[in-house]
Structure 1
Amino acid sequence: MARAELATLLVDGEVTVEPFAAQHVDGLREACAQDREIWEIYPVNMLDDGFEEQLKAFHGEEGWVRFALCHAGRVVGTSSYIHPSPENGTVMIGGTYIEPSVRGTDFNHRVKKLMIEHAFACGFWRIEFTVDTRNKRSMAAVQKLGAKHEGTLRRNRTTWTGYVRNTAVFGLLKEEWAG
């Protein structure tokens, strides 16, 4: 269950989840710029100068396994495994952004299915998701995967805008996963 084992290419037809590399930077910058308003409810800013700052932070984060999300060879977003804990069998999937062109399709479901199945295949037995409670679309998507709402952390995180958010916590156990 090593971090390196999580960082592998995952493929479902034209949907690819690729370990994040230098060749993904420009595509991710373009994808992030496709929905300027959504960044108000994200903990970080991936627009303009904020993109460069976060990209530098990406490389300094020890507990993240980052991916570029691609559709038909084009970068349309990002997601990560966060703080994998092999000794506890837990990993979080988060830091997800998907551009509007593939929202409302089965793209996110296919990406998350690949990531969930890979984490379980690597020996993890619990996957966590945390979502800003203002992000109703993401909360619905996580529940559609079969994750259970386990509670809400009230006023637990300050976003880049200064807003102090509430965070919904969801969990998915291996034995609950229906695929």
Structure 2
Amino acid sequence: MTIPTLENERVRLELLTLDNYKFLKHIAQEKDLLTFSPSDISTPEKLNDYVHIAIHGHYHKLCFPFIIYDKVKKAYAGSTRFGHINQTNKVLHIGWTWIGHEFQGTGLNAHIKFLMLQYAFETLEFEKVEFRIDERNNKSRSAVEKLNATLEGTLRHDTLMTDGFRRSTCCYGILKSEWPDIKATVFKEF
């Protein structure tokens, strides 16, 4: 699956590579950035490992990792990804999203999600987009609920965190048939 750069007036999403991930090193070291993630990017070495895993997944057509560029602040802001891509059933996940603290609450994430949902449903013609979120992460759950994603259930103690805790994961979904209404209401100003 080849995905081009996705962009609008606010944000540009381009392929995360070994050449551009260096622009994220300072953001990756921000405190509490991945509190609810099973990933660890807190050191340059761990960020490098994270990027290598993402690139390996892209090579094997399992994911498509993006680097996020905020066109208003003229700065790289973080990373996100299409993952668990199931071509047969036309289902994929949007996740692995982390954005520096100075970019949070600015509307950047809504632009990111709009571009990704639009591409998944309108260009790739996938039938469903899923989001998997730690049940304790109320901030991310609220953001996905604002997209009118449906909570489909909770996977109990399904993910081992870096500190040894077993998290439960809330599964949200948006169907292709729901996208036109979501686009016209949630994203009406885009």
Fold similarity call, TM over 0.5: yes
Further displaced range: 44-53 or 101-110: 44-53
Partners of 1:128 and 1:169 within 8 A in 2: yes
**What SS is found at the alignment partner of 2:19?**
helix
Alpha-carbon distance in structure 1 between the residues aligned to 2:34 and 2:88: 34
RMSD between aligned residues? 1.3
**Percent identical:** 26
Matching of residues 1-179 of structure 1 within 5 Å: 3-4=1-2, 7-34=3-30, 36-48=31-43, 49-61=45-57, 62=60, 63-72=62-71, 73-121=74-122, 122-177=124-179, 178-179=182-183
**What SS is found at the alignment partner of 2:106?**
coil
Structure 2 gap ranges (5+): 184-190
Partners of 1:24 and 1:75 within 8 A in 2: no
The letter for the 2-side match of 1:172 is I
Alpha-carbon distance in structure 2 between the residues aligned to 1:23 and 1:59: 12
Alpha-carbon distance in structure 2 between the residues aligned to 1:134 and 1:51: 24
Partners of 1:40 and 1:161 within 8 A in 2: no
Partners of 2:69 and 2:76 within 8 A in 1: yes
The letter for the 2-side match of 1:54 is Y
Query: 1:110-135 deviations in whole A, cap 9, x for unaligned?
Result: 10000000001211010000001111
Scaled by the length of structure 1, what TM-score is found?
0.91
Scaled by the length of structure 2, what TM-score is found?
0.86
Number of residue-to-residue matches in the alignment: 174
Structure 1 gap ranges (5+): none
Higher relative contact order (CA 8 A, sep 6+): 1
Q: Which runs of 4+ in 1 moved over 4 A?
A: none
